Structure 1
Amino acid sequence: MSEKALLAGRYFKEGYNCCQSVVLAFAPEAGLDEKTAARLGSSFGGGMGRLREVCGAVSGMFLVLGLVQGYDSPADACGKAVQYARVQKLARQFRDENGSIVCRELLGLAEHTSCPVPEKRTKAYYRKRPCAELVACAAEFLDQELQKNI
C-alpha cells in the first residue's frame, strides 16, 4: 500500500470524511493548504452531504485529479476528453475493486438518507464501516494515475 493510501486512511480515522481524507492526502500535489483541502472536501462526505450517492473517496479522487491534471479552458475539447477518460478509468478501477462507486451500495444500505447528522465516530462505527479501506483504495488508484503522468 502506498504512502498516500496509508495517509488517507489515517485522515479518515482522525475524523475527516472520505472525500476530505483523499484530498488532504494529496493537498501538497494539488497546491492546497490543509484548511483549504479540508473545506474543499467537506460537502462530499457520506456520498455528498450524507445523501449516500457517489462515494466521497471517489469524489475526492476526481477533485484532486482535476486540480493536478485538469483542463482549464472551455475551448480545450481534447483536454476535456482526456480528463473524462481519466475519471472514467479511475471510476472503473474503483468499481471493479469494490463493487460500486455509490456510497449506499458500498455500505449495504437500502436507500439514501435525508438525515444530515453524521454518526459519532466510535470503535463500533469504525468496525462496521469499510470507509477507511475505501479511502485508502481511492488514494492508491489516484497515486498510481498521478505517477504515470509525472
Structure 2
Amino acid sequence: MSDNIATQARNKAGGYYKEGYNCAEAIFLAFREYLAPELSPELVKLITGFGSGVGHAGCLCGALSGSVMALNMVKGRTSNQEKRDAAYDTVRQFHDRFREQFGSTDCRVLNPHPHDTPEQLKNCLKITGGTAKLLMEFLQEKSLYKMAE
C-alpha cells in the first residue's frame, strides 16, 4: 500500500476544504479525480447539503458522506436490475473503519465547536484530511484503486 498516495489524497481533500468547499464536497472532489475523472466537477452541487452533518443538523459527518459517494463511484449500480449488496457491504466496512478511527460518525460529536469558528474549521480540516487518507488506504486495501504505472 502506498502511503504516498494516501497522503496525497489527504492533502488534496484538505486543499479543497481550505479553498472553501465543505467536508463532503472536498472528499467528493478529491476522489472524483482519482476514481471517476470523467464525471463533471459541477456534480459537487449534489453534495453540498451533506456538509456539517447534513445541512448543520450535526448528524452523519460530511466527510463520511462524501466518502460514501466516492465508494459509490466504484461500487454503485447503474440499474435497478443490479444487486446492491457489494456497494452496501463496502460502504458498511468503511463506515465501521471510520467510526473506529474517529470514535463516532456523528458530526456534533466529532466537532463540538460552534460553526465557522477557527476551532471548528481547524477540526473539520483535520477530519476531512484524515478521512481522505483513510479512504485511500481502504480503496487500495480492497483493490478498488490502483495507481497508474
Whole-angstrom distance in 1 between the partners of 2:102 and 2:67: 15
Task: Quote the RMSD (CA, aligned, Å).
Answer: 2.2
- Aligned residue number for residue 13 of structure 2: 8
- Aligned residue number for residue 139 of structure 1: 132
Runs of 4+ in 1 over 6 A off after TM superposition: none
- Aligned residue number for residue 93 of structure 1: 97
TM-score, normalization: structure 1? Answer: 0.79
The answer to whether the 8 Å contact 2:112/2:120 transfers is: no
Distance change in 2, residues 1:43/1:126 (3 Å): same
- Aligned residue number for residue 45 of structure 1: 51
Paired residues in the alignment total 136
- Deviation at residue 34 of structure 1 after TM alignment: 2.6
The answer to whether the 8 Å contact 1:94/1:137 transfers is: no
- Deviation at residue 76 of structure 1 after TM alignment: 2.5
Q: What are the superposed Cα offsets for residues 70-117 of structure 1, whole Å, 9 maximum, x if unpaired?
A: 12232323xx111111111111111111111110111137xxx9xxxx
- Matching of residue 149 in structure 1 with residue 147 in structure 2: no
The answer to whether the 8 Å contact 2:111/2:120 transfers is: no
Which structure 2 residue ranges, 5 or more long, are not aligned? 1-5
TM-score, normalization: structure 2? Answer: 0.80
Report 1:66-145 matches (<5 A).
Answer: 66-77=72-83, 80-108=84-112, 119=116, 125-126=118-119, 129-145=122-138
The answer to whether the 8 Å contact 2:9/2:132 transfers is: yes
Q: Percent identity?
A: 31
- Aligned residue number for residue 3 of structure 2: none
